[in-house]
Structure 1
Amino acid sequence: MALQLGNLRVETPVVLAPMAGITNAAYRRLCLEQMGDQGADGLFVCEMITSRGLVEGDAMTMSMLTFDEAETVRSVQLYGTDPAFVGKATEILCNDYGVAHVDLNFGCPVPKVTRKGGGGALPWKRGLLAEILDRAVKAAEPYGVPVTMKTRKGIDDDHLTFLDAGRIAQDSGVAAIALHGRTVQQAYSGVADWDSIAELVQHVDIPVLGNGDIWEAADALRMVEETGVAGVVVGRGCLGRPWLFRDLAAAFAGETVATLPSLGEVAAMMRRHAELLSRHMGEERGCKEFRKHVSWYLKGFRAGGPLRHSLALVDSLATLDTLLAELDPAEPFPAAELGTPRGRQGAPRKHVVLPEGWLDDSDGAGAAIEEDIAAASGG
C-alpha cells in the first residue's frame, strides 16, 4: 500500500506530523532510521514555519529549515494567512531548498494563531482558503512539487469546515488532504472522531490522510480499514517512541511486529537522539533540546525521581552517558503504556479565540490581519 502525492510516491503510507520543537532534523533522522531498519520509507515533515518569516528572511525561521544528509525527500509544513506570502514562500521552498513536498497548516488550535484567523480557524473563510491553496499550488507546479493541506473537523461542533475544505482542496489541485478528527475547540482532548475522516474519504476524490489517536501500529491499520484513508499521520504517539515507525513499516508490510524495548535499548535510543541533536545544534544546545524528551522516553519505567530530574538537566553527552548508565538495562518495557495517549491532552477550550466578526461571513476572504512571523505549533 503506497501513498501517491502527485509525482511523489511514498512506499509506506505513514507521515510524521510536524510538531513544534520536536520534529527537527535530528528527530526526523531518528525516526527515518527506524523505518530504514525495515527497508521502508515514509514522509517526515519539518517543523511548521511561517510563510512571512521565510519571505522576510527571519533568522529563527531560516534556522528551522535544516535538513539531515539522510533526508533524500525534504518535506516542510508552511503556515500562513496571506495568499501572497504563502505563494512566495512555496516558491522559495521549491527553488532554494529543494523541497519535494509542501504541506499547508490549517489545523493549529493555539489561541495566538486562531485569534489572527490562522490555523484551524482559517477554513471557515472559504474564499481565503481557496486563494491560499491556489497560490501555493501554482507556485509549486513548475517544480513538480505536490502541495497538501492539513485541517481539523472545524472550529467547533457548530462550525464544521472539513467537507468544504476537502472540496476546495480538490478544486485547487491539492494532492491530498489530512484530517485530524478533532475540532479546534477540542484541541488535543477527548477522542478523535474517525467517522468524520471516513466521511471526508467518501466526499472527495483526492487521497485523504487520517490523523488522531494512532498510538500503536495496529491503530494505523485499523484506521485504514475503518475509514478507507490512503495513509496515516502520526504525531503524539511517537513521542519518546521513535521505534513506532519500525512497527508501522512492519505492519504495512503485513508483519505483526510490536517493539517492546528493554530500558537498556531505550537508553541507547536516548543516546542516539541526543547525539543527533548535538550534531545539528552543537552539544550544549542539543543537550538542552533533549531534556524535554526524557519524560516521554521513561514513561512507565521505574527510574527514580532524582535520576529523572538529573536527566532533565543534562548539559553534555558525557553527563548523559553517566546518568544513562544508572538505568537498569534489563528492565522490561512497561506494557501497560501500550495504546495509551502520550504528550499533551488537556481539556476542551471554553471557546475558540477568533478575530472579531470572524464567524459572520464564511464566504469572504477574511479580515485584514497581519500575518505572524514566528511559528507557533502544529495541528
Structure 2
Amino acid sequence: MGPMTATLSKPALKIGPYEVDPPVVLAPMAGITNVAFRRLCREYGAGLYVCEMITSRALVERHPTTMQMITFDPDEHPRSMQLYGVDPATMGQAARMIVDEGLADHIDMNFGCPVPKVTRKGGGSALPYKRRLFGEIVRAAVRAAEPAGVPVTVKFRIGIDDEHITYLDAGRIAEDNGAAAVALHGRTAAQRYSGQADWTAITRLKETVRSIPVLGNGDIFSAQDALRMVAETGCDGVVVGRGCLGRPWLFRDLQAAFAGEPIPEGPSLGEVTRVLRRHAELLADHMGEQKGLRDLRKHMAQYLRGFPVGSDLRHRFGLVSSLAELDDLLADLDPDVPFPSDAEGPRGRQGSAGKVVLPEGWLDDPDELCVPTEAEIDHNGG
C-alpha cells in the first residue's frame, strides 16, 4: 500500500446525519442501479448506494414505472434517491413528497447528464450555467427536506465545455443554499464519458467549498484509483459509476483499501459465475424471471471481460432468457481460470466528445431565471 495509507487518517465522511464508511458512493446509472444490483453491491461492502435517477415531475405525478424504480430493500439504510429536475417548484414538491411519505432518507440531485436530448432543452449539465435557476432548485429541495433531517447533495460536471466552466460557481451556490455535500465528475458535458477525467478540478473545488464534503467522480476503476484520487485531490470521498459494472466486488476492494488492509485478488472464473448467478437471482426476484434475465444480458460482457470464453458461448450468454439456461451456460465455464489482468481498466460507455446542443440563446444570460420547458424527460445520469 505504501504512502497511500496516509490518506486514511481523514475524518469519516458525513452526509447530513449519516456517516458513510468507507467514503464510497455508488453513482446512479439508468437501467443498472436498481434494487437488485444495489443489493449485490451492498453484500460486498458498506457505503452509500443511490437508486436509479428519477425525474421530479414523474415522482410528483406518480408515474407507475417511477414508483417501481424507487423500491428499496427493507435493510437498505440510508435509502438514497437521486432526483433530476429543472423547475424549483416541482423539485420542492418532489422533496416534500419524499419527506411526507417517508420515501427516502437522502436526496441526491443530478446536474451531470451530458445526453444531447437533455441539454438541448436546458436540462442536465447545461443547467448549472443558469446560476440563479440552479440555486433556486437546490434551495427548494433543501427547504423541503432539511427540517425532516433528509440531507440534499448535488452532483455536477466541470462545465458545458472548456469555454463555459461552471463547477466552482455551482459548488459555492450549492453550499450557500444548504447542500450537505457536492460531487464533481471531472469532465465537461462536451467530453461526455470520453478521454480522461480531470482530477485537478476536484482539487480546486475542494479548495473552494470549505464547509461541506466534496466527493470526486470519474475514472475510478480500481480501489487503488480511489486511494489515488483522495491522495491527489484531498476530496472527502469517491463516487463510483462505470467502474463497478460486471465487478460488484469492487466495493469489497474499496472497503479493504480505505481500512488500510491488503486489496483482495480478483476472483476466479468460478467465483465470477457465482456472482453472476446471484445477480440473476436478485433480478428475477425483483422483476420476474423472464424480464430479470433479459435485464442481466447487458451485464454479461462486463462479467466475462478478459476471461477465455469463446465467441459462441459469449453470444449465447447475451441471449439468455431463463435461470435454467443460465445454469447450463455457467456449467460450461472452467471455474479454475484466474482473474485476467486485462479485465482491469476502463469499462462501460466511453464514446467520443462532441459539441453540446443547447437551447437557442442559452448562453446569453447566466442570471436568467426562466425555467426551461420540456426538459424533464427520462434519461441517464452523468
- Per the normalisation by structure 2, the TM-score is 0.95
Whether 1:348 aligns to 2:353 is yes
Whether 1:304 aligns to 2:310 is yes
RMSD of aligned C-alpha atoms?
Answer: 1.0
Shift of 1:375: 2.0
Amino acid across the alignment from 1:18: P
Q: State how far apart, in whole Å, the 2-side matches of 1:94 and 1:27 are.
A: 25
Q: Secondary structure at the match of 1:46?
A: coil
Q: Secondary structure at the match of 1:103?
A: strand
Q: Name the counterpart of 2:97.
A: 92
Shift of 1:258: 3.4
Q: Secondary structure at the match of 1:182?
A: coil
1:300-325 per-position Cα deviation (integer Å, ceiling 9, x unaligned)? 11111111111111111111111110
Q: Name the counterpart of 1:31.
A: 41
Q: Name the counterpart of 2:381.
A: 378
Q: State how far apart, in whole Å, the 1-side matches of 2:60 and 2:95 are.
A: 9
The answer to whether the Cα contact below 8 Å between 2:87 and 2:371 also exists between their aligned partners in 1 is no
Q: Name the counterpart of 2:7.
A: none
Q: State how far apart, in whole Å, the 1-side matches of 2:54 and 2:208 are.
A: 30
Q: Name the counterpart of 2:107.
A: 102
Query: Structure 1 vs Structure 2: percent identity of aligned residues?
Result: 63
Shift of 1:69: 2.5
Q: Name the counterpart of 1:2.
A: 12
Whether 1:240 aligns to 2:246 is yes
The answer to whether the Cα contact below 8 Å between 2:154 and 2:179 also exists between their aligned partners in 1 is yes
Shift of 1:7: 1.2
The answer to whether the Cα contact below 8 Å between 2:119 and 2:356 also exists between their aligned partners in 1 is yes
Shift of 1:82: 0.7
Shift of 1:368: 4.1
State the number of aligned residues: 371
Correspondence 1:255-294 to 2 at 5 A: 255-294=261-300
Q: State how far apart, in whole Å, the 2-side matches of 1:331 and 1:260 are.
A: 11
Q: Name the counterpart of 1:71.
A: 76
Amino acid across the alignment from 2:42: L
Q: Name the counterpart of 2:3.
A: none
Q: Name the counterpart of 2:152.
A: 147
Correspondence 1:185-334 to 2 at 5 A: 185-205=190-210, 206-334=212-340
Q: Name the counterpart of 2:5.
A: none
Equivalent position to 1:365, from 358, 369, 380: 369
Q: State how far apart, in whole Å, the 2-side matches of 1:185 and 1:228 are.
A: 26
Q: State how far apart, in whole Å, the 2-side matches of 1:117 and 1:368 are.
A: 6
Shift of 1:123: 0.2
Q: State how far apart, in whole Å, the 2-side matches of 1:258 and 1:208 are.
A: 28
Shift of 1:336: 2.3
Shift of 1:367: 4.6
Q: Name the counterpart of 1:119.
A: 124
Q: Name the counterpart of 2:21.
A: 11
The answer to whether the Cα contact below 8 Å between 2:123 and 2:372 also exists between their aligned partners in 1 is no
Q: State how far apart, in whole Å, the 1-side matches of 2:115 and 2:358 are.
A: 11
Q: Which runs of 5+ in 1 are unaligned?
A: 36-40
The answer to whether the Cα contact below 8 Å between 2:95 and 2:144 also exists between their aligned partners in 1 is yes
Name the stretch that deviates more: 63-72 or 170-179: 63-72
Q: State how far apart, in whole Å, the 2-side matches of 1:334 and 1:267 are.
A: 14
1:168-197 per-position Cα deviation (integer Å, ceiling 9, x unaligned)? 011001011000000000000000000000
- Per the normalisation by structure 1, the TM-score is 0.96
Shift of 1:63: 1.5
The answer to whether the Cα contact below 8 Å between 1:149 and 1:178 also exists between their aligned partners in 2 is yes
Q: Which runs of 5+ in 2 are unaligned?
A: 1-10
Misfit runs of 4+, over 3 Å = none
1:293-351 per-position Cα deviation (integer Å, ceiling 9, x unaligned)? 0001001111111111111111111111111100111111111222x1100001101x1
